[in-house]
Amino acid sequence: EVYGGPGAGKTQLGLTVAACAAGAAHPVLFVTAKDHPSALAERLHTILLGRKMNEAALDRLRIYQAMDFADFAKIILSFGDTLKSQQNSKPLVVVDGLTSLLSPFTSASSWAHRWRLTWAWRALRQLAMPRGATMCGSCVLILSHTVNEGTLALGQQWNPAATRRLELSTGHLELQMAKRGIPVANGATQAATAVDLVISDAGVCAET
């Protein structure tokens, strides 16, 4: 999971990862609750051109817009069913803007509403699990908003969602692991490591 404030470059980072995965012949599912798919497709095309990658990689990318939680659930379940018929694939799933779909339920006092958070991270974890002895699980990248100096917008119930967390900071464009002691899935914390990034229309790359 990559988390950060508005305008930090999370979507551009996700698009760059998606373009590189598709360019390496991996199937990619990009689910957005923020941008129109056509706008993201244009940005992906720009990234591919900027990196001199084959535009045919776009054929391996599927972009879906989730307008609400029901849309998101249908997309994830459908992709899971599709993977069952694919052999030797190493898919990438990028979810951008899930915070906006789930945040209305974080303050709910009834489990009838809060179950959506648990369902979401468990469904994404299921995609990441190996699909048999010869089939790899998906790589799942979640792009999440933060509030109040690095606090995850979805709260403590979202803590088990990710096995690794990286913070994308607008101040120095640094990607940091478990900064401020935000726990990874096993409850432990890890020391922060930073990588300076350059974010442009051609995507995201490490500063040299």
Tokens representing 145 are 């908003």
Name the average pLDDT for the chain. Answer: 78
Q: What is the pLDDT of residues 37-55, one digit of tens each?
A: 999 999 999 999 888 888 8
Q: What is the pLDDT of residues 71-120, one digit of tens each?
A: 999 999 998 877 766 666 788 999 998 888 887 777 766 666 678 888 89
Q: What is the pLDDT of residues 150-168, one digit of tens each?
A: 566 677 777 777 777 787 8
With CA atoms as reference, report the closest residue to 171 among 9, 15, 34: 9
Question: For the whole model, what pTM was predicted?
Answer: 0.82
Dihedral angle at the C-alpha atoms of 44, 50, 53, 57, nearest 10 degrees?
10
Separation CA 178–CA 176 (nearest Å)? 7
**Are the C-beta atoms of 111 and 49 separated by less than 8 Å?**
no
**Is the pLDDT at 203 greater than 90, yes or no?**
no
CA-based angle 81:83:89, to the nearest 5?
Answer: 180
pLDDT of residue 118: 85
Instruction: State the first-to-last Cα distance of the chain, in angstroms, to the nearest integer.
Output: 24
pLDDT of residue 58: 87
**H or E segment at 145?**
strand 139-147
